[in-house]
Structure 1
Amino acid sequence: MANPTGDHSWQRVPIEPQSVDAPLSRAAVFLVVTVAQTPEALATVKDVLGDLSGLVKTVGFRDLNAHLSCNVAIGAEFWPRLTIALPPKELHPFREVRGAVHTAPSTPGDLLFHIRAERDDFTFEFERLLLAALGDAVTVVDEVVGFRYFDSRDLLGFVDGTANPMGLDLGSSAIVGDEDPEHAGGSYVVVQKYLHDLERWNSLPVPAQEGIIGRTKLENIELDDVEHGQKAHKTLATITDEQGVEHDILRDNMPFGRPGQGEYGTYFIGYSRQLWVIERMLERMFVGEPAGSYDRMLDFSTAVTGTTFFAPTRGFLDALAD
């Protein structure tokens, strides 16, 4: 696409990923917004995204040990409105996954803000100032406040994120490389909000729960895969390609809930170098492999949102203000 201003600064941005690899925090906010269809709204969004690192510093300097960070990711339909840069090779809107029993719905979202800190007052203050700066340029379509639950467990009682890559494997699993050089350093992001039927789940005997998840509940020990019959969640969520190579993603899931409203859930967020890995995982969970042998965890956990984004480099965001 031609650039009428002749400015190609987006092609010269440093390859520095956002805080994709930040350790699991004690508090998080997942904020999904749509952007109004006006030039003024677009200009406001560009200004805010271009100075996002400045806003992090403004709030975060009060306690550096709070480790405040914010990743921003861009939806496929908003990408061409925001920048003349060609989109990442795999970026497209979330594709609904419809199985015989359960469905992973596709829901709207132009921007995702993944706000993390060790103190929930910092995530609150950052979100407050962020939304004040964006004003009526955006509409909030989903807002979830997450928290760390005991020893990184979800509300089903199992440790979450055990299979996350570590060390050098983290970058190769979550960060785009030279296969898409214009977007190297970025990451595909998929988010889903799951609501749990805790009463039904807790009525199951623990061995039955462990069989569904594929790990022991107390010790978090991985159980052997079954050779025949129903596969466990951990097996269906493990993706290998045709050459037998396993492909990991980076999960930063968080529990959330409002006991007074009977709402209990998990906010799934997966960062991946290759979008197809997450899409294949969801297909195995919702459709099953073979078809019909879907993830039995879905009988107790219902997906109510589903959106795909791309988190570009810090330099890409900084260049938007230009």
Structure 2
Amino acid sequence: MMTTPFQPGILEEIPAAGCFLFADLFDVQQWDKLRPVLEQLIDGHGIVLGVGSKLLKALGKAPEGMQEFPALQHPAAKRRDYDLWFWLRAEDPGAIHHLLRMLLNATEEFITVKVQYQAFRYQEGRDLSGYVDGTENPTGAKAEAAAFVKSSDQAQNGASLVTVQPWVHELDYFKSLPQNEQDDAIGRRLADNEEFEDSPASAHVKRTAQESFDPESFMLRRSMPWTDHRNEAGLVFISFVDDFAKFNRMFERMLGLEDGIEDGLFSFSMPLFGINFWCPPVTENGRINLQFLRD
């Protein structure tokens, strides 16, 4: 019996295998038929669910804190709109296949998958660049405070707000650079994951230090590397928050909108698009709670 209202997969450690689906409804009028299917199927552990602004607007619903991905004048700030986001999570790629088959068979008459990323945990939690990802993630009670909405409305209490950005890396170029230049882009040494004081102002860890914002902008990041059949590769960046202002402040600084200094990540990587979703809470029975999205 679940005793916590949030989708547990959000707080759990990054799994060994994953799959990200971005999907649209064929017809929003079918939502009332799809909703009970999702309520039966989604547990927030093996599959984490997010609902996009496009569907929320069509349903006339406005969850607390929900916003669209920011419209910013920068090539890295492209955004898209999808109705639903599914994060499939497992410790084995074969289990992901069976989860995916189950999900698609149950929903095929209602939704179409627009974008799909196969993802995985690399080594002990590194990006494909080789650097440890999510080093400054909050843990325990601080992670819960950073990632989940507290609301007097039980249909929204325990919800989370998530930003998803698939980044594509130019790894051949990055790995051709001298090691010190690679370290400068990140602001950590590859050898020991330690920050170093004389890194340039563009170093990623300097641009995104969560305690350096006013107010502090702690987020729960659950990013995973991805690859595809074309041998392209990158990172699906995932940031769960209780307030999208946290991500917005960080991303604006990365783009150099504050001081004209762009993040070192852009020297070898670029987000393909960004999108925000509302992740509903779960019921006491451990199923997704879509009560807020009922008529």
Corresponding residue SS for 2:245: helix
Corresponding residue SS for 1:317: coil
Would the aligned equivalents of 1:50 and 1:318 in 2 still touch at CA under 8 Å?
yes
Give the aligned residue type for 1:155.
L
Would the aligned equivalents of 1:77 and 1:93 in 2 still touch at CA under 8 Å?
no
Q: Where does residue 186 of structure 2 map in the other structure?
A: 213
Would the aligned equivalents of 1:96 and 1:103 in 2 still touch at CA under 8 Å?
no
User: Which has the greater radius of gyration?
Assistant: 1
Q: Where does residue 255 of structure 1 map in the other structure?
A: 225
Q: Where does residue 9 of structure 1 map in the other structure?
A: none
In structure 2, relative to structure 1, the CA distance for the partners of 1:199 and 1:301 (3 Å cut) is same
Picking from 246, 251, 271, the partner of 1:277 is 246
Q: Where does residue 153 of structure 1 map in the other structure?
A: 126
Q: Does 1:137 align with 2:110?
A: yes
Matches of 1:80 and 1:306 in 2, distance apart?
Answer: 18
Corresponding residue SS for 1:93: coil
Q: Where does residue 64 of structure 2 map in the other structure?
A: 89
Give the aligned residue type for 1:309.
F
Structure 1 residue 288: Cα displacement: 4.2
Would the aligned equivalents of 2:90 and 2:96 in 1 still touch at CA under 8 Å?
yes
Picking from 23, 27, 30, the partner of 1:37 is 27
Matches of 2:28 and 2:172 in 1, distance apart?
Answer: 46
Q: Where does residue 6 of structure 1 map in the other structure?
A: none
Picking from 206, 220, 242, the partner of 1:235 is 206
Matches of 2:121 and 2:102 in 1, distance apart?
Answer: 23
Q: Does 1:204 align with 2:173?
A: no
Q: Does 1:301 align with 2:269?
A: yes
Would the aligned equivalents of 1:98 and 1:286 in 2 still touch at CA under 8 Å?
no
Q: Where does residue 59 of structure 1 map in the other structure?
A: none
Structure 1 residue 245: Cα displacement: 4.4
Matches of 2:112 and 2:273 in 1, distance apart?
Answer: 16
Q: Where does residue 17 of structure 1 map in the other structure?
A: 6
Structure 1 residue 204: Cα displacement: 1.0
Q: Where does residue 236 of structure 2 map in the other structure?
A: 267
Matches of 1:180 and 1:214 in 2, distance apart?
Answer: 42
Give the aligned residue type for 2:72.
V
Matches of 2:14 and 2:196 in 1, distance apart?
Answer: 24
Corresponding residue SS for 1:158: coil
Q: Does 1:286 align with 2:286?
A: no
For structure 1, list consecutive stretches of 5 or more residues without a partner in the other structure: 1-13, 57-67
Would the aligned equivalents of 2:155 and 2:281 in 1 still touch at CA under 8 Å?
no
Describe the superposition over 1:11-49 as per-residue Cα deviations: whole angstroms up to 9, x where unpaired: xxx97101210111100111110112252x323321222
Picking from 142, 166, 172, the partner of 2:139 is 166
TM-score (norm: length of structure 2): 0.88
Q: Where does residue 7 of structure 1 map in the other structure?
A: none
Of all paired residues, the percent bearing the same amino acid is 29
For structure 2, list consecutive stretches of 5 or more residues without a partner in the other structure: none
Structure 1 residue 241: Cα displacement: 7.7
Matches of 1:283 and 1:139 in 2, distance apart?
Answer: 32
Corresponding residue SS for 1:146: strand
Matches of 1:182 and 1:318 in 2, distance apart?
Answer: 7
Q: Provide the aligned length of Structure 1 versus Structure 2.
A: 287
Matches of 1:118 and 1:42 in 2, distance apart?
Answer: 31
Structure 1 residue 117: Cα displacement: 1.0
Structure 1 residue 98: Cα displacement: 2.7
Would the aligned equivalents of 1:74 and 1:112 in 2 still touch at CA under 8 Å?
yes
In structure 2, relative to structure 1, the CA distance for the partners of 1:295 and 1:105 (3 Å cut) is same
Structure 1 residue 182: Cα displacement: 6.0
Matches of 1:47 and 1:321 in 2, distance apart?
Answer: 10
Q: Does 1:183 align with 2:156?
A: yes
Would the aligned equivalents of 2:201 and 2:207 in 1 still touch at CA under 8 Å?
no
Give the aligned residue type for 2:70.
R
Q: Where does residue 11 of structure 1 map in the other structure?
A: none
Matches within 5 A, 1:119-130: 119-130=92-103
In structure 2, relative to structure 1, the CA distance for the partners of 1:77 and 1:26 (3 Å cut) is same
Matches of 1:38 and 1:18 in 2, distance apart?
Answer: 24
Q: Where does residue 40 of structure 2 map in the other structure?
A: 51
Corresponding residue SS for 1:161: coil
